[in-house]
Chains A and B, each alone.
Chain A
Amino acid sequence: MTSTEDFERWGGAAAWSSGAELTAMQTLLWRAERHPVQSSTSTVVIDLDRAPDWKRFVAATEWGTGLVRRLRQRVVDPVVPTAAPTWADDPTFDLAYHLRRERADSREEMLAAAAQVALRPFDRSRPLWEGVLFELPDSAAYVLKIHHALADPLGTVQLLSMLQSGRRAHTPRKPLGDDAAAPVGTDGVELAVAGLRTDVSTLPDAARAAARTLGHAAVRPQAVVSSALRYGASVRRLLTQAAPPSPELGPRTGKMWTFLTLEAPLEPLRTVARQGGGTLDDAAVALVLGGLRRYHARRDSPVRELPVGVRVSLDRADDLGNRFAGALISGPLSIEDPVDRVAAVRGEVLSLHTERALEVLDATAPVLNRMPSFVGASALRTAVAPDAFVLTLPGPPRKRFMAGAEVQGMYVLGPLPGAALTACLVTVGDTACIGVNVDASAVADLDALRACLAEGLEEMVAAGLGG
């Protein structure tokens, strides 16, 4: 039974992410990256019930990189930005460069080491991932660092869920990926010339489209002006109307990452979400706010709301669609009741749907990509940095195995693009695994924050069990 499921899933993994070019948004993040301050790197920490057999683990990873071609590919940038970067097979791919094993005495030590792994920048001329298996006294943890251009956090979790096995025993004759490799000979100059050629050939079309737009504008100047004003107003609201950043969470350097992990049963969190009329995403934001509320109270800070970065689906509100936009909401710190807090967060998030400029970064990414990379970098920086990013990701629906070790938890530690903390809730079976990356330079009392976040989570769970 389980193995049929495994085979289906592995088939999906082989087909995963096969486009040759980076999308406009990936390109922007790739070119604008300034690690770690403006980073696009996520780290996944997977708790395992025992240390897997190292040889089997290496073999499994070898198989995984064969199945998912992208793990053996690197990004080739055109020498001038006339085209999007493309993926090409790395002829020098060597698994030993990407995968290694270390020893740690405790889980805390492992998390600290994982943060150091995450802080080191990638070699951008190689495949954009790095895995470390930490062997602990009577368990283990696999730490996988992965670049956003290869997979965003959602993609990373999907990929890992796909590659894991439904059973502890080894599966012989696993499916293999196609050997048809992407063109190896791609180089930067060729790419730039090809891009330029496409630009020139599409120029007449572009000119005609521009002329048409101008024609419309000339005939209906009023409509064009008012539409532009409305768009501008929406951009201004998105950028300026969230709460000002909390003084308790600054100044931040973005260079001192600290990884915290929390876990809780999933069902009570879903109950609280339902009671507040919201989704698990809303509950995740509300529980982080609950922790920050306690932290601010403990520090005698009068802050009543702070800016929180959330992910909004651009498709239907509750679908897990493919198009997302990041946006800021004002997260309330003054609401004590968890259910009411979920409802307030729900209202803030849904209100973003009235903003026509929600997709502004998506819309401007192709233009920004044609400019020198520092333009894109500063465009990303002008977006007001929230105090916290909160993200929810669906993980595997039940417990899985990696080379014979059972997965006990899966935590995503996102990057800190200007924020004081990034929290990701991953659903693993019936458990919520919450990974929090904190900028230690922004927080005066890290232990207090850790305790407050735990209390905020407990409070949510208690509310869910009580109702």
Chain B
Amino acid sequence: MSGLSAAAREAIEAIEAGPQGPKIGAFFDLDGTLVAGYTAATFYGDRLKGRDVSPAEFLRTVVTAVDGELGGDPTRIAHVAFSAMRGESEEAFADLGERLFRSKIAGTIRRESRALVHAHQRAGHTVAVASAATKYQIAPVARDLGVEHLVCTQLVVEDGQFTGATDGPMLWGRHKASGVRAFAREHGVDLGESYAYGNGYEDVAFLSSVGHPTALNPHRDLRAAAGRLGWPVLDLSDPVGGSLVAAGRTVAALAGMNAGVAAGIAYGLTRGDRREGRNTAIKLATSLPMALAGVKVEVLHRERLWTHRPAIFVANHQSALDIPVLGNLLERDFTIVAKKEARWDPRAVIGSVVIDPAYIDRSDSESARATLDGVVDRIRGGTSLMIFPEGTRSPTPALGPFRKGAFHLAAQAGVPVVPVVLRNTGELMRRSSLVLNPGVVDVCVLEPETDWSVDDMSERIAALRAKFEDTLARWPA
């Protein structure tokens, strides 16, 4: 499993070697453990931006927060926040949670935490998020990780509005520990054999409720305590944030792409061969920017990219980086299907001049079908096609459902499907981000699949999607 640190791999191997089944629990803290940073800060930042906060409330919040840091009651800050929410609509707040998840929080989920969660899920363990946060912060993250259970602070809702009070204590410190123990009793979980992951100094009681506690990227006081108590400490890498340097490199990369395109077209003109010019442009336009941005690509089974051309290449989609990466891999004689709106995306406009994508107007099925008929002809003519069957970029590495379009095209054109699994492109360039961070993209080309027909298409698509999931969960060595 490349890409995971040795320590994370060891932890996962220990989980795989340990007891399996739902009697074993795995409890994950949210803030600082599953995600880097504090989701509450993201929510509060949004309130500040929306000017929902009066100067008095702001001052009170700051004073309470500072007091909590200086040995006062650290949960008071949350109660100040909860009482400020009195009268707000629960539905609107849940929507806000979803919006903030897509735009901000999804990008802060630690990749190796996700791998730990999946390792526990594969072992059939009962996995839960245990946090002092509210379900509006946790639920989108838990859903994305496929975690069903939440042990969290409950807010009282009356007539669809928050009352500003909590139902029961805030699940912080000892209350989180007792919440986890109650959950274990209810679900028949054997705590002595179970796992817990936390990062805060207040998580000691929570961690000590299980037989296998891990201090994950711990706060300095928890690190000291873990040393004394002999608990394992696991330091996972944080998702890369956009730095100024990275932003500068992105600009250079865009410039490189343009230069590549221009050079390629010029080359084609001088040689009098448009096709060759286009291929050269693709090559330069994809390899130059990636080199400038410091992005490397590591490919498993690169030969499978060439054995079955023309073909339909299907890949999972998390980032705008996916297109240049795939372009770089496929090198020549391919095009993409894109939605009409993407034509004027500044990130794609130059590439589209050379790749000459088949645009579909989703609002007009008649014209969409006509475009696709044209595409079938082009495939038969020797141009491969690159399609993202999820249709849209997912905010996280979790795989979305596959649409059938790509496979219908394969059946109609009588060409094979070559599955390409991309990992961590989303980490190097977050969804809806314009900044590209340096790093290594892992790519795995799966066995090409031939002879598509409408009869068994659904089953084959489901099987293929499962292969994607499996590859993402256990990256082949």
Contact = CB atoms under 8 A, between A and B. Distances in A.
Interface in A322-369: 330, 332, 335, 340, 343-344, 346-348, 350-351, 353-356
Interface in B61-87: 69-73
Q: Which of A229, A235, A344, A350 has the most chain B CB atoms inside 10 A of its CB?
A: A350
B222 interface: yes
Q: Which of B70, B71, B191, B201 has the most chain A CB atoms inside 10 A of its CB?
A: B71
Interface in A23-82: none
A335 B71 CA distance: 27
B193 to A, nearest CB: 11
Contact of B72 (A236, A317, A350, A354): A236
A27 B206 CA distance: 38
A244 to B, nearest CB: 13
Contacts of B177: 343-344, 347
Q: Which of B173, B181, B208, B221 has the most chain A CB atoms inside 10 A of its CB?
A: B208
A232 interface: yes
Nearest to A312: B228
A277 B192 contact: yes
Given A347-B204, A351-B205, A354-B224, A234 B71 contact: yes
B248 interface: no
A237 B224 CA distance: 17
Nearest to A239: B71
Interface residues of A, number: 28
Contacts of A354: 201-202, 204, 221-222, 224-225
Nearest to B200: A354
B382 interface: no
B232 to A, nearest CB: 14
Interface in A179-201: none
Contacts of B230: 316-317
B169 to A, nearest CB: 11
Instruction: Label chain A's interface by main secondary structure.
Output: helix
Given A340-B181, A343-B177, A348-B174, A236 B201 contact: no
Nearest to A240: B71
Interface in B203-258: 204-206, 208-211, 221-222, 224-225, 228-230
B206 A347 contact: yes
B71 A350 contact: no
B89 interface: no
Contact of A351 (B70, B173, B178, B224): B173
A233 interface: yes
Given A234-B71, A344-B178, A353 B211 contact: no
Contacts of B210: 277
A343 B181 contact: yes
Given A354-B201, A354-B224, A356-B221, A343 B70 contact: no
B105 to A, nearest CB: 27
Interface string B166-205: 0000000110011001000000000110000000011011
A116 interface: no
Contacts of A240: 71
Q: Which size class do B's interface residues fall under?
A: 20 to 34
Contacts, number: 81
A213 interface: no
A208 B210 CA distance: 49
Contact of A237 (B71, B178, B192): B71
Contacts of B225: 350-351, 353-354
B70 A236 contact: yes
A226 B208 CA distance: 29
A316 B224 CA distance: 11
Given A277-B211, A340-B181, A317 B70 contact: no
A340 B229 CA distance: 21
Nearest to B174: A347
A233 B71 contact: yes
Contacts of B71: 232-237, 240-241
Nearest to B220: A230
Interface string A204-237: 0000000000000000000000000100111111
Contacts of A356: 221, 224
Given A350-B225, A354-B204, A354-B225, A229 B70 contact: yes
A347 B206 CA distance: 7
A277 B193 CA distance: 11
Contact of B205 (A232, A241, A315, A350): A350
B70 A241 contact: no
Contact of B204 (A232, A236, A353): A353
B325 to A, nearest CB: 43
Contacts of A340: 178, 181
A235 B69 CA distance: 12
Interface string B30-71: 000000000000000000000000000000000000000111
B204 A343 contact: no
A63 B173 CA distance: 53
A277 B224 contact: no
Contacts of B191: 277, 343
Contacts of A236: 70-72
A117 to B, nearest CB: 40
B228 A316 contact: yes
Q: Which of A233, A316, A354 has the most chain B CB atoms inside 10 A of its CB?
A: A354
Nearest to B225: A353
A353 B229 contact: yes
B229 A350 contact: yes
A332 B229 CA distance: 23
A237 B73 CA distance: 8
A315 B230 CA distance: 11
Contacts of A234: 71, 221
B94 to A, nearest CB: 32
Given A344-B181, A353-B204, 15 more contacts: A229-B70, A232-B70, A233-B70, A234-B71, A241-B71, A277-B192, A317-B228, A340-B178, A344-B178, A346-B205, A348-B205, A350-B229, A353-B224, A353-B229, A356-B221
25 contacts: A233-B69, A235-B71, A240-B71, A241-B73, A277-B209, A277-B210, A317-B230, A332-B174, A340-B178, A340-B181, A343-B209, A344-B177, A344-B178, A344-B181, A344-B205, A350-B205, A350-B225, A351-B202, A351-B204, A353-B204, A353-B224, A353-B225, A354-B221, A354-B222, A356-B224
CB-based closest 10 A-B pairs: A347-B205, A236-B71, A233-B71, A353-B225, A354-B221, A354-B201, A351-B204, A354-B225, A347-B177, A350-B208
